[in-house]
Structure 1
């Protein structure tokens, strides 16, 4: 008798999260060991409601489209499971006779995954639990990087370069670009690529360092005065010397995190009011994590691979682990997969290395050595005629 498997998505989707789902489904079908393939409709919410999608007989032609489909094809949520929820989780797992459970998500999702594994062991449930990494924030520990980051970084780099070209072509205002990253500045760091692709001045601020707003404004005024245009890129979660966010929506999400937002507008307002310069705020928001045209090919391929590896590992009897990526960058980029203990990954946040930040608002070469292979090649070479 074949095994029944369940896949769920947690947290904010990425441009490649469905590639991991495709990897799980296609590996399950190829194994000859899986009977039923279920997916939780809207993640943990679906598990609690017993609302599962049966993917067993979905045509292969439809499954193949997952790699070109943004967001989550099965639905996700930001529901943090509590102790009171777990009996219901067990009830659903038993009702559908689930043998293998895969949770595709970031830090909080890996914590949930770990708790499900611990509960199953305590209750004597024969369940294999494997976490599948996903986060554009790139802040999961023990893995070189996370599926979803490469594509979000590519989007940030190219969008910032396009804005930088516009800012330098009509240098009448300071352009401020806000990018996702509540506590980790990996994606915003990629926007500094604009300074390498264009002749525009670029300043970049990450949440790993507190921002001295007076110094920020002085640097903005100095760089703008060079007359080459100025792009300022900021993580949504940057905070001041007082430890408070520069901007705060006042909203708390389902995981208990404050929802940041409005940082670019705040900086823009300061530029206008205190420097007397024109400025405008730009914020791609969800486009930064869901854009298929900007998907990184290595990111797509690795997202698919971690899904397959998760399924294959569970069928070998592995449990209580997250699929992680090891990478070598010289002489050419290559990656491999391994299993990391969920208990060591859950709720551990990997921050951007401080030594990769130059002078508080620049990004050093070490980051680009790390990130460029993940972002994919073929960056454009622009015609820069003004000198």
Structure 2
């Protein structure tokens, strides 16, 4: 007889950030500095006593909404076979169909979906990447968290040195400052600091209009960047496509899109060279894998956004050599650390995602709910 889902524990967790974070959206007045990240954590227990853990997240707003929606729909999984992940994902979608298939509606499901995949891999005694089918046991990794616009350039350079010495294989800095001279001065300083051959990326966080983006992208061509990220509004498919055709430097985008359907427009309109889906934002691992198959067929490079604990496994399954973003913000949530060596992030050999929650998570938990029986 198949194992069944007995209990799902949901936790809303607020992770405080040590330093308020500012990118271009703050400097243009569209957002306040980020001081915390909300996480929705799902812990699934089966009748046989097996456990899986997953998470999704939101920055600045949306955490309580994700928690509430997940609580409403998760009871449809009680008594179900946890191995039937695709069917269960559709069942949850239909349970919340009136609020659609993007945004909070799918981000709430992502934590549960990830927990189901973690559980399935643990049952098989395999790392998640091996369960899905890995192309490699490590992935190129780059650091973003040291290059935000609120940091003085001296601090950015120190962070870059520290990351490089730690084995990080690339550095990304934030641009999109209202004064383009600031962007160019910071980029020049970082390129000179790293040397011509070290992989360097920039991220404008959607803050340029079309004429500005064209000018800035052309001005940045001589810097030999791996990519220019989110030069335009995330939903400006046509503008991104025009840039991708006009600029030799690869154009990257996709992290802010919250469904597979939205990413399909990026692919159909050839709006990017590097696609940057985020599994927690698009609905979990099930949806990410559906999208990555299509992206690979289109010949796109892959660089998943944030959540390296999930994306290291998923990037390892992509047929084209990918990048994974290194953020240490989530370190307080997990007992384990991602291993970095020679510019690459090593795929964990532990079963499942290979992470366990810390006790600190409990102290940051602001709300809990359970469905089923313990």
State if a TM-score over 0.5 links the two structures. no
What TM-score does the superposition give when structure 2 sets the normalisation length? 0.29
Q: Which has the larger radius of gyration?
A: 1
